[in-house]
Structures are given as structure tokens and as C-alpha cells.
Structure 1
Amino acid sequence: MPLDLEEQEQVDQLKAFWAKYRNIITSVLTAALVIYAGFSGYQWWRNNQAIEASKLYNTLVTSIGKGDKEQTLRAADDLEKQYSGTTYASMASLVAAKVSADSGNTDKAIDYLRWTADHASNDAYEALGKLRLVTQLIERGTAKDFAEADDLLKDKPVKGFEALWLERRGDWYLAQQKITDAKKSYEAAWKQLDQTKEFPEEGRRLLKVKLDAVGGVTQ
């Protein structure tokens, strides 16, 4: 059926609009499809990474149960190399650090904790990595170790870890026989705990022991 004049005019306007803007429209649609495809691909990649990382982490847990230190550390190393962006890699490095420290290999433990501090998948694991790294550095006790620990403690504490940061600073002072400074840091940590009700009771008791050892809370 032939179009009337008004309909024909609308068709002509549509054709003119398309002729003028089709390249732009096509480019925008193509870009949108590319972005969507890229996002979908990234999500698939992330999910796949998490699944594969979880399998490797299960291997690590099984190895710990068997007392297989070599397999435990190998699984942790593989997680660091292949799945560094996952939470499993951060957890594995913390576990591997403890296994290494318990077996007397402080240097290896420090290497794992440095990795966690630098590559942790979230703030909480980064904080744990730094705090445990400070502890290992203090225990090793060279001038270089104390300097590195000092630098770590100068970082702004992750929210919720303020008391532990102050406690580690107290440990840092105490290891160098700076009793007055250690006491001030422990006292500041103790006061901070009053604002952190969910802090583990075991942690409170340990801090109290440290504080009592340097003279207790100043009244």
C-alpha cells in the first residue's frame, strides 16, 4: 500500500538521519558490545581463577594434615605465582609463613610475609601480613630488621587493627630495651581496646601480660 505524504516524509527523515549518523551509532553499539564481552570474559576468568585456586588451597590444607611440609610450601608457592589476585593466595602465604617459622626457617617465613604485605587481596590480610612480618623481623633482630619493622609500623593502620599496630610498636621498643617507650605504646594499645569490644580475649590477656611486664597501666 502506497505511503501518504506524511508517512513518506517520516521515512525520508529516518533515512537522512541514518545516513548522517549510522557510523557513530554503529561505533557506539560496537564499543558497548566489546565492553560487555570484555566484562563477561573478565568475570568468567575471575570465577575460574577462584575455582582453580580453591582446589590448590585444598591441596595445601590436606598437606598440612599429613604433615607434608614440602607439599604445603609448594602449594603456597603455586598460589602466589598463578593466582596472586585471589584470597586463597593471601591465606596460603600466611599459612606457609607459620609453617616455615615453626620449622625454624625465619628467612623463608619473612619472604612469605613480605609477599602477603605487598600482594594481599584485601586490607585485612595485608594488615595481618605486616603485623606478623614485624614480629618475625623483631625476633631476627638485626639493625636492618629493626629499620624495616619501623618502616612498616609507620604505615597507617588498617581500620580495626589500630590496637595491634600500637602493640607491635611496643614490642619494637621493648626489643631494644626502650622500656618507657614500650610502656607508652602498650598503654595506648590497651586504651584502644576499650573501643574495640570484639577484640579476642586471648589477645587482651597477652597485651595485659606485656603491659604488666613493663610496670602496668599508669594511673
Structure 2
Amino acid sequence: MSVHLTEEEQLEVLKRWWKDYGKTVITGIVAAVVVYFAWTTWQEKQHSKAESASVQYDELIKILNVEQGKTLTDADKANAEHIANELKEKNGKSLYAQGAAFYLAKAAVDAGNLDKAVTELRWILAGKPDLATAQLAHARLARVYVAKGSYPEALAQLSEEPSKAFASEYSEVRGDILKAQGDKAAAATAYKKALETTDPQHQERAMVLQMKIDELKTAEAAPAAAPATQEKAQ
């Protein structure tokens, strides 16, 4: 007997196989096609969403990029706030949305609305951003808390060891907090550390830190000079 199947036998085997497994194969193929097109559609939507966010963010930057010596008009501020809020609403925790939230926090500080600034910065941190974004948000949030007079909350934002890029700013903010609390010696130490870790290319920042250090030295020297002046007057 031949070990090879005849054409009729092969056809019969195929029919039986199709009867047993045909529907399963079709279902699998259809599912694969659906998944493929769903994935492709999702990718296209994400790409389109990212492009739209990029365009909006560029528009926001253009509005904020005013000439030196000029300020934003009320209309520009309203437009910028509208775009920033849209970026947050439509782009979740993306970098564009985080950038928009940073702007809204700054605008709130400029308007004296410190509570709103806290809300915006906490929104950024709630999204578990990358390390650099998180440390920037903590530093700015600490400054807002200093402005509110909430010194323990401000110090809490600086509890983690910063990366090299933020070491100077963290030390400066810590100095601001200690100075506001009346601990001038500790504040001076923090400012000196900030100065030591400042990028040499940032000369303006170094000058500001040196001024803060000199201001504390002057304040410490003033009480010592007062008794000598009183004795001379007597």
C-alpha cells in the first residue's frame, strides 16, 4: 500500500481539519487584524495628539516671549492661561502639560495667588515626573511656601538629596528659609554652599549669592557696632 495519500484522501483530511479548526483559525486571524489596526490607530492618534500639543506649546512660548522691557497684555495673559489649561487637560502628564503647569504656577505667583501656585506645582509632582522635572518643581514649591511663611513645608520640599544640577538652587532656597526663620549663621552656610556649587558660567547667579552672603555679614556686624556707638555717645 502506498504511504502517500491520494488527492481524494488529502482533500478529505483538509475538510476534516477545516471542520475542526477552521473557525478557530478565522477567529485568530480576525483578532490579530483587529489588534493590529487598533494599535495602528492608537499610534496615529498619539502622534497627532503630540503634534497638536507641540503646536500649542510653541504658541504659548511665542506669547510669553515678549521684548525686553515690555509686559504681557491682559489679553495675552488670558490667551496664555487658556492654552496652558488646554495642554494640561488634553495631554495628561506629558512634558508639554508639565511645562504649562510651571507657567500657570509662575503666573499665579506674579498675581499673588500663592495657593494656586501650590496647586499647580503639586499637580506636576503628582504625575511622577522625571527626576529633573520633579526637583525643579520641589525647588519652586519650596520658594512658594517661603513666600507663604510656611517654613516647615518649604524645608520638606528639600528633604531629598538633589542632583548636581540642582544642588546650588536647593542650598540657596534652604538659605532663604533659614534666614526667614532668623538663623543667620545657618543661612550664611547654606548660601556659601550654594555659591560653591554654582556653575562658573552663571556669573549673575554667583553675584546674587555673594550679595546674600554679604548682606548677612552686614546684619551681624551692625549689632556689634551699636554698643560701641552708645558708649561713645555717653
Cα distance in 2 between the residues matched to 1:191 and 1:202: 14
Q: CA deviation at 1:214?
A: 2.1
Question: 5 Å matches for 1:171-182?
Answer: 171-182=176-187
Instruction: Give the one of 112, 131, 135 matched to 2:120.
Output: 112
Q: CA deviation at 1:38?
A: 7.3
| Structure 2 partner of 1:99 | 107
Query: Which is higher, the Rg of structure 1 or of structure 2?
Result: 2
Cα distance in 2 between the residues matched to 1:215 and 1:36: 69
Instruction: Give the one of 154, 175, 199 matched to 1:149.
Output: 154
Superposed CA offset, 1:126-148 (max 9, x none): 2222211111110111xxx2222
Cα distance in 1 between the residues matched to 2:121 and 2:107: 12
| Structure 2 partner of 1:134 | 142
| Structure 1 partner of 2:53 | 53
- 2:142–2:173 Cα contact (<8 Å) kept: yes
| Structure 2 partner of 1:25 | none
TM-score, structure 2 normalization: 0.66
The one-letter amino acid paired with 2:57 is: Y
Cα distance in 2 between the residues matched to 1:215 and 1:102: 30
Bigger relative CO (Cα 8 Å, ≥ 6 apart): 1
- 1:173–1:182 Cα contact (<8 Å) kept: yes
Task: Percent identity, please.
Answer: 28
Cα distance in 1 between the residues matched to 2:155 and 2:125: 14
Cα distance in 2 between the residues matched to 1:138 and 1:41: 48
Number of corresponding residues:
203
- 1:157–1:165 Cα contact (<8 Å) kept: yes
Are residues 35 and 104 of structure 1, via their aligned partners in 2, closer, same or farther at CA, if it must alter by over 3 Å? same
RMSD, matched Cα: 3.8
Q: CA deviation at 1:175?
A: 1.0
Q: What secondary structure sits across from 1:84 in the alignment?
A: coil
Q: CA deviation at 1:177?
A: 0.8
Q: CA deviation at 1:159?
A: 3.8
| Structure 1 partner of 2:165 | 160
The one-letter amino acid paired with 1:209 is: M
- 1:138–1:146 Cα contact (<8 Å) kept: yes
Instruction: Give the one of 186, 191, 196 matched to 1:191.
Output: 196
Q: CA deviation at 1:168?
A: 1.0
- 1:90–1:120 Cα contact (<8 Å) kept: no
- Give unmatched runs, 5+ long, in structure 2: 4-28, 67-71, 219-234
Instruction: Give the one of 77, 94, 112 matched to 1:86.
Output: 94
Q: CA deviation at 1:69?
A: 2.0
Cα distance in 1 between the residues matched to 2:129 and 2:38: 22
Cα distance in 1 between the residues matched to 2:35 and 2:207: 53
Cα distance in 2 between the residues matched to 1:35 and 1:153: 46
- 2:93–2:124 Cα contact (<8 Å) kept: no
Q: What secondary structure sits across from 1:177 in the alignment?
A: coil
| Structure 1 partner of 2:212 | 210
1:169 aligns with 2:185: no
Q: What secondary structure sits across from 1:153 in the alignment?
A: coil
Cα distance in 2 between the residues matched to 1:176 and 1:95: 29
| Structure 2 partner of 1:124 | 132
- Give unmatched runs, 5+ long, in structure 1: 6-28
